[in-house]
Structure 1
């Protein structure tokens, strides 16, 4: 419950970021609701005061006006329009409707009740009382004369009603526009916050989370939250204001019956609580399965060449179908819950309320007073019908509300992951003197992957790290980049421990080239500069020329502005690697790391890169992680790692003379290359 309250508070906090827009929308909504809810009052007035109003007592008057009616040679005016000065003589008149006919009696009723006509006598019974009057049935033309004074007021009231509806429609439009605008703004801000936070998360988070699941939280879950603000919030707020307005109107009409209908509110509250408990489990499982499906789709797309090569299409389809079937099962369970309760609940509430209405008005009509106007009955029925429209909206949005709540919890769970602080303060370009002093490290906290690593790399030196897979080469570079923080020992640059620097300051003067270079959608030039305004186009072109990439780029249709698709799929591995080298050089790093950078390129391209590196590595410290020992012959220092420890160190010739681990690796590779050549 506390976690749900926390999620609710954070959703409210996001909404308050745009509280002015939402407040204006609510004001417009309140005005629109007020204008719409005046309608039944106008209808009641039309029915009671003008349509049924002709049954009021009529008095004989002398002066003819718009409200007078000529009947049997005398002028009469309704009691609502007459004043004491207007009345002349003793002439009285009252009209009574019995069935579909109207009758005129020349006196006023003592009381009203059940009406019965026999011949020319109208009898009225109320309880034990009964009275009879001589009456004359009115012809249609005569009846129309009595309605003539009411036509103009009815037209005026109907015109006011139509004007209010048009007025309310404009305000409803403004309300909807502002609420949806605020909702889109809220989700825009939330998605930006999530995306920015993802970029601050440590690398360890991405090691343990499939990319598809993270994408699902940024897209699917935030979209579910958008529906919360656009539909659920709008429906709940609109329905709430409507219900408040309707109950105010009902209390004005009849306090007792309004109290009876007020029982609908606690029923809805109890239902919301019960529904959320029942639906929470299903919604959580549904969102989880969607994330798993997204993760599998992402993995399948990434690994499509392997799936095709090893003919694993059927296996992957079966695994996907299993996930899809589980998602379908939970969706069906939630659908059954919604179908069982939503419309059924509203229908039951509506029917019970109408039974109470019939009982109340039926019982009241049998009392001595017997005063139940048709206008009052119409207004109550109209308001009760209007009342259940917002009730239906609330009940129908409960499923969406629960989905949004679960999605919100997942998004906030991501936002609560501890991220790295972003520090904008820059530091001067360091010299590049790197020192590892008895560094040990473990990924899982149990088994060390590095043990007592100690070495120095002076400014301008090239240090190569070699060893079998899993020996700890990449781990050393991960620690230097602070993708992970060292647990034991000290890593320093220019005698300053890297833990005292922010990660942004540390990496500002570092560059890296990976074995599998990553290119972004854009152009070749933008992939070098990464749209950094500090890197000029001239600088970009020079970096590409330094690595020899201009030879193939200038043959492309758009040259340096050639579009690059996702991951650079239209370029060869060697071409992508050259662009990746140019990117690192364009940023002019003090420390350059080449992580198996020449593993996937041909000999000619490798020669180009080696030639470029001999030019650009002057003045910067370079680390090379390599399996191909032929590429590190010129390194100033070679570190041979085995099971997380440095077992040998020295230059290429020195290590060969020792005939140790490095010598064995070199001989093995040399023999392999000779076999391939032969």
Structure 2
């Protein structure tokens, strides 16, 4: 499905609001476009209508008294009214005259004294006339004034109605756009929750953030501004062409040439704009990613004096972004006012040529009202054309942004399962498991061990030996390529990831804390975990001794990542979190490596409580912390090279013995 169709599909979810907005838009356009027709009627029928034929009559409604006699316009004459000879009121330059007879023909007028001369080709006629004073002329206009005021009131009423419906149309369109973007952002964020961990290994967080914020905001502009402009312009153009065809078919047909020109330009524009916008959006994501990475690693950048190099790297990205922005700017500058200005001038040239030619033909006298209406409609025609051309840039930005958002949403993921099972016993078995982050490059090779309920399993080995990879597989952050992992005899591939994780807890070397409070970081706002459970978990790990001096106690605010807390305090919160969720399987990943001796003593006391009734996996570099483990697995380059408890491994005097002796020697030297 194309990006355009998918964007339309999102819009159809709120079609009732959009249809209501388009209905209001149609009413608004119709009422607005009625204006020139009303103005034409006022000019031709009432202001210039005074030059139509009048008849001598008796005193009555809409009859005008002049020189002791009454006259009525042919338009207002009724069949039961007696009429006499016809007369005419004519305008010669700025003077109005009274002609006491019917004209033989009309043509070019000239006035000398009270003698009117009318010439049409070789024909010439002269009439004796009376020049009308201002008050006499006003008397002849009196029958028109009520109708003029009625039409003006109608015109004003239509403008008010148009404004009301225009407000409603914009309100509903923007409301639907906000709803669509709200839904889209929720879908994108939901998709992020579905994506496997390996996706984020290769896709920077800043780029993901750009998809959710910048790209969806560009799409919002599509629904709020672009589509609103396109819908409005389409209805306006349709209405204006309908009005032009009513007024004059030939000129309206000439104006139709605008449409293929506009369509051709749109095709050309989109060809280049799409290319530029893709680069711009991509560089924008790269810039976001780099800013995010720089903020996260600012301490390292400053510690190693990498500020200048980082700035130069950012400058290259920014320069490329600027370069393509300028290309797009040049393209837009060629289109908007320049293109529309040329088209406007061409249409007005055609208009002047056509009406000039028509005016030369005596049989085709064009009224001033028609002329006014045409000029008004042609001017109005270019407003929506200008709107369409100006929004082409936003349209392309939105389509490119939509393409990027939908690419993220098309990534294979897995729905978060709501399936809940009884608490695991915690019997874990790795059956000849092999795994690699890259195809064909195994970091774990034929890992084979078994952990029974309540046992503590320690994983030791040098960096890169595969300790964390085993935990990643157990959590199903990744799936094995060979072999099988079972929990309580069930292959974990057959159990939904979320179901497995509901019975597992993890404490990382560098625990992640969220913005909130100490208590909310323990419960993670899970409604199933009560305040009492939170406080008990904190007390059990000894956190009450550490946090008792804080002003707000367990409700002390925590900013992003808990940067105002010490590493020991963060670790205690992480331990309390694991305890509060009461997992069947507990993983401690270097959990005590960055903690001071005093805090470690507190945690060691709590760990005995924490491990009861649970299968516990400990990844540790400090071998002194795992002496009481039921099993110790020694890993080297992805292979288990030794297995047993502390006493057995020390007795065998293998790799574990060497590591332990080395650490003990280092401790003695440090002492």
Using the alignment, how far apart are the partners of 1:556 and 1:215 within structure 2? 34
In the alignment, structure 1 residue 6 sits paired with structure 2 residue 6: no
Using the alignment, how far apart are the partners of 2:120 and 2:449 within structure 1? 111
Give 1:106 shift: 2.1
Say if 1:592 and 1:243 are closer, same or farther in 2 by CA, change over 3 A.
same
In the alignment, structure 1 residue 494 sits paired with structure 2 residue 488: yes
RMSD over aligned Cα, in angstroms? 1.3
Using the alignment, how far apart are the partners of 1:295 and 1:108 within structure 2? 86
Task: Give a deviation string over 1:115-135, Cα, whole Å, max 9, x none.
Answer: 333444434344555444333
Q: In structure 2, which of residues 41, 45, 58 is the aligned counterpart of residue 45 of structure 1? A: 41
Task: Give a deviation string over 1:474-495, Cα, whole Å, max 9, x none.
Answer: 1111111111111110100011
| Residue in structure 1 matched with residue 401 of structure 2 by the alignment | 407
With structure 1 as the length reference, what TM-score do the two structures score? 0.97
Using the alignment, how far apart are the partners of 1:434 and 1:526 within structure 2? 31
Give 1:274 shift: 1.1
Q: In structure 1, which of residues 340, 356, 366 is the aligned counterpart of residue 334 of structure 2? A: 340
Alignment of 1:497-508 (within 5 A): 497-508=491-502
| Residue in structure 1 matched with residue 12 of structure 2 by the alignment | 16
Say if 1:129 and 1:510 are closer, same or farther in 2 by CA, change over 3 A.
farther
| Residue in structure 1 matched with residue 26 of structure 2 by the alignment | 30
In the alignment, structure 1 residue 57 sits paired with structure 2 residue 53: yes
Alignment of 1:240-389 (within 5 A): 240-389=234-383
Using the alignment, how far apart are the partners of 1:113 and 1:553 within structure 2? 103
Q: In structure 2, which of residues 549, 552, 555 is the aligned counterpart of residue 555 of structure 1? A: 549
| Residue in structure 1 matched with residue 156 of structure 2 by the alignment | 162
Alignment of 1:427-466 (within 5 A): 427-466=421-460
Alignment of 1:500-649 (within 5 A): 500-649=494-643
Using the alignment, how far apart are the partners of 1:507 and 1:423 within structure 2? 11
Give 1:293 shift: 0.7
Using the alignment, how far apart are the partners of 1:669 and 1:591 within structure 2? 29
Give 1:300 shift: 0.7
Give 1:243 shift: 1.3
Aligned length: 671
SS of alignment partner, residue 135 of structure 1? strand
| Residue in structure 1 matched with residue 473 of structure 2 by the alignment | 479
Give 1:340 shift: 1.5
| Residue in structure 2 matched with residue 672 of structure 1 by the alignment | 666
Using the alignment, how far apart are the partners of 1:285 and 1:464 within structure 2? 49
SS of alignment partner, residue 386 of structure 1? helix
Contact 2:115–2:126 (CA under 8 A) maintained in structure 1: yes
Which range moved further: 433-442 or 110-119?
110-119
Give 1:137 shift: 2.7
SS of alignment partner, residue 76 of structure 2? coil
Using the alignment, how far apart are the partners of 1:130 and 1:356 within structure 2? 33
Contact 1:126–1:366 (CA under 8 A) maintained in structure 2: no
SS of alignment partner, residue 443 of structure 2? strand
Contact 1:459–1:621 (CA under 8 A) maintained in structure 2: yes
Q: In structure 1, which of residues 230, 235, 254 is the aligned counterpart of residue 224 of structure 2? A: 230
Using the alignment, how far apart are the partners of 1:604 and 1:661 within structure 2? 30
Contact 2:118–2:124 (CA under 8 A) maintained in structure 1: yes
Give 1:334 shift: 0.7
Contact 1:127–1:366 (CA under 8 A) maintained in structure 2: no
Give 1:586 shift: 0.7
Contact 1:439–1:488 (CA under 8 A) maintained in structure 2: yes
Using the alignment, how far apart are the partners of 1:624 and 1:110 within structure 2? 115
Task: Give a deviation string over 1:448-471, Cα, whole Å, max 9, x none.
Answer: 111110000000000011111111
| Residue in structure 1 matched with residue 416 of structure 2 by the alignment | 422
Using the alignment, how far apart are the partners of 2:217 and 2:106 within structure 1? 62
| Residue in structure 2 matched with residue 152 of structure 1 by the alignment | 146
Contact 1:113–1:370 (CA under 8 A) maintained in structure 2: no
SS of alignment partner, residue 80 of structure 1? helix
With structure 2 as the length reference, what TM-score do the two structures score? 0.98
Using the alignment, how far apart are the partners of 2:107 and 2:166 within structure 1? 44
Task: Give a deviation string over 1:343-379, Cα, whole Å, max 9, x none.
Answer: 1111111111111111121111122313211001101
Contact 2:273–2:328 (CA under 8 A) maintained in structure 1: yes
Using the alignment, how far apart are the partners of 1:326 and 1:128 within structure 2? 74
Q: In structure 1, which of residues 187, 192, 200 is the aligned counterpart of residue 181 of structure 2? A: 187
Give 1:174 shift: 1.1
SS of alignment partner, residue 426 of structure 1? coil
Using the alignment, how far apart are the partners of 2:377 and 2:88 within structure 1? 32
Give 1:569 shift: 0.9
Which range moved further: 119-128 or 392-401?
119-128
Using the alignment, how far apart are the partners of 2:228 and 2:608 within structure 1? 65
Which range moved further: 416-425 or 198-207?
416-425
| Residue in structure 2 matched with residue 94 of structure 1 by the alignment | 88
Say if 1:110 and 1:419 are closer, same or farther in 2 by CA, change over 3 A.
farther
Contact 1:594–1:624 (CA under 8 A) maintained in structure 2: yes
Contact 1:127–1:367 (CA under 8 A) maintained in structure 2: no
Give 1:238 shift: 1.2
Give 1:83 shift: 2.7
Q: Which runs of 5+ in 1 are unaligned?
A: none
Using the alignment, how far apart are the partners of 2:502 and 2:106 within structure 1? 94
Using the alignment, how far apart are the partners of 1:491 and 1:386 within structure 2? 72
Using the alignment, how far apart are the partners of 1:278 and 1:118 within structure 2? 67
Using the alignment, how far apart are the partners of 1:500 and 1:567 within structure 2? 34
Say if 1:658 and 1:101 are closer, same or farther in 2 by CA, change over 3 A.
same
Contact 2:216–2:405 (CA under 8 A) maintained in structure 1: yes
| Residue in structure 2 matched with residue 390 of structure 1 by the alignment | 384
SS of alignment partner, residue 448 of structure 1? coil
Give 1:421 shift: 2.2
Which range moved further: 602-611 or 220-229?
602-611
Task: Give a deviation string over 1:142-169, Cα, whole Å, max 9, x none.
Answer: 2222112111111111111111111111
Alignment of 1:117-136 (within 5 A): 117-127=111-121, 129-136=123-130
| Residue in structure 2 matched with residue 85 of structure 1 by the alignment | 80
Using the alignment, how far apart are the partners of 1:32 and 1:206 within structure 2? 49
